[in-house]
Amino acid sequence: MKETSLKLAREHGTPLFIIDHQRIRDNYRAFKKHLPRVQAYYAVKANSHPEIIRTLFDEGASFDVASYNEFMQVYDYISHFEEKDKEFYIWDKIIFSNTIKDTATLSKIRRYKPLVTFDNADELKKIKAHCDTAGVVLRLRVPDVGSQVEMGSKFGAEPGDARQLIDQALDLGLVVEGLSFHVGSQCTTFDNYAVALSIVHNVVCDTEKRGHKINIVDIGGGFPVPYDSRVPQFARLAAVINAECERLFEDDVEIIAEPGRFMVATAAVLVSEIIGKARRDGKIFYHINDGVYHTFSGVVFDHWVPEFEAYRTGAAEVCAVVGPTCDSFDKVTLSAQLPADLEIGDCLYTENIGAYSIASSTRFNGFDGARIVHLNN
Ligand SMILES: Cc1ncc(COP(=O)(O)O)c(C=O)c1O
């Protein structure tokens, strides 16, 4: 890919974001192969490019959306292709997994009878008032120890409150369909999943004992991407999840997941270009034409540490790589190992940049952001 990327950059200009759709298919197929019981609802927030939605839809994926716009993006796309009964169809294809939704959003999605998550009593009242056609999924707080992005501090009901929340939902006449969790993004502590599944199992048993069946267990996202060789293998995690699901849940419980980065992170690379070079306090600063307000936004929002490679060799030293805006915050890294003799016009290569990158890019300082090209779509 590295060689091809430079050719494409010469052809299309920089910064250039190259999406390899075969890699997305491979990731989806690996997920299905290792977790055959689990239906993947791709978390659109990771990268909402319409071509990615199309590739994953063609593979058989469902979708996890976080906002009305994401909901409609997916709904409009898939309703071109499917003419099935909408109620059954939409739960099969879309989950609205943002636990907090404004009342306008709830009112607008009411007509689609959606599947939505919640984690508190006020949200339930809102759902009842503005979207009483919804099926609801209670999101539980679970351990997110060691994950790159923690979720538990903002989302999830305490397991001890589950009984009361489920009773409230049932009293309001809502359809309580499932339980969900998120172990934190880029989760490399596989015990988090095992503990979460056991917490969910306790709530399933308690709810069933009191006469209500839970039909869906949603194991969220967090599936780790092999950014480097220290990341434990997905196959090992899958073995843990398969064994626990087999042990804890009857065959008629549907297991779904919301993988985001796992599907797309490895499927894109970025070619950026050096537009300025300076020595500051003795260190080389390469100023490039992309930065943390743009494709490298994951450095801020995703706690991501990107790696840079040059396209030519040379004696390396520790360099800073900084973005093009006038903001001193726009520093991508202060410790890239790069040849010291790179020049203005040379390009840099960054892989594994498909998730939480262009999705959260801005137009700060008037920069457009990277051009996008597709391979194998
Ligand atoms: C509710 C929910 N589901 C799924 C995801 C996707 O997580 P990941 O990219 O770790 O798979 C996120 C990420 O923020 C999320 O908030």
298 lines ligand 1 (CB under 6 A): no
Predicted local confidence at residue 79, as pLDDT: 85
Could you confirm whether 326 is annotated as catalytic?
Answer: yes
Does residue 245 carry a pLDDT above 70?
Answer: yes
Domain ranges of the chain: 2-17+267-375, 21-265
| pTM exceeds 0.85 for this model | yes
Which residue type occupies 231? V
- Is residue 357 classed as helix, strand or coil in its secondary structure? coil
Among protein residues, the one whose CA lies closest to atom 1 of ligand 1: 97
46 lines ligand 1 (CB under 6 A): yes
182 lines ligand 1 (CB under 6 A): yes
Instruction: Tell me the angle at which helices 50-59 and 68-79 cross, rounded to the nearest 10 degrees.
Output: 50
Q: Which CATH architecture has domain 21-265?
A: Alpha-Beta Barrel (3.20)
130 lines ligand 1 (CB under 6 A): no
Q: Which CATH architecture has domain 2-17+267-375?
A: Beta Barrel (2.40)
In the reported structure, the alpha carbon of residue 247 is separated from the centroid of ligand 1 by a whole-number distance in angstroms of: 25
In this predicted model, what pLDDT tens digit does every residue of 203-234 receive, in sequence order?
Answer: 999 999 999 999 999 999 999 999 999 999 99
- Is residue 129 classed as helix, strand or coil in its secondary structure? helix
330 lines ligand 1 (CB under 6 A): no
Predicted local confidence at residue 66, as pLDDT: 98
In this predicted model, what pLDDT tens digit does every residue of 9-45 receive, in sequence order?
Answer: 999 999 999 999 999 999 999 999 999 999 999 999 9
Among protein residues, the one whose CA lies closest to atom 9 of ligand 1: 260
Does residue 89 carry a pLDDT above 80?
Answer: no
In the reported structure, the alpha carbon of residue 139 is separated from the centroid of ligand 1 by a whole-number distance in angstroms of: 13
Give, in order, the Cα–Cα distances in Å from 158 to each of 133, 139, 203.
Answer: 26, 9, 11
d(CA 351, CA 346): 17
